[in-house]
Amino acid sequence: MHPDWARYTRGLCGNFGIPFWFKQWGAWAPEDEITAVDLVRAMHRGMVYDWGAGNAFSYRVGKKTAGRLLDGQIHDGGLAHEREERRLTRVSTQMYKRL
């Protein structure tokens, strides 16, 4: 996926107040989201995709290595907040039952 597509979608979600959740890059990651070592490995194997813009390249590094960072951040679309809220509710319920 071209990195600008994910950024554009994130921007649209922000404009309309919709939580943005970025699951993963898949097997191909943009060069600014992977380490230099993984970049060299992908280049050595010839696993490089040029998006044609002259400044956007993706490298096949595998899903696990590509990860789910977009511009250095994980975007959970509010899921982390909801999980924490459920956990606090569970803890509060347990404390109330002990009283």
Tally of CA atoms within 13 A in the half-sphere of 23 that contains its CB:
4
Alpha-carbon distances, residue 18 vs 15, 28, 29, 61, 96 (angstroms) = 8, 26, 25, 30, 34
pLDDT of residue 2: 86
pTM: 0.67
pLDDT tens, 64-95? Answer: 888 888 888 888 887 666 666 666 677 677 77
State the average pLDDT for the chain: 82
* Parent domain of 51: 3-98
CA dihedral sign, ordered 47, 75, 55, 35: negative
Q: For residues 67 and 75, what is the distance between their CA atoms, to the nearest angstrom?
A: 12
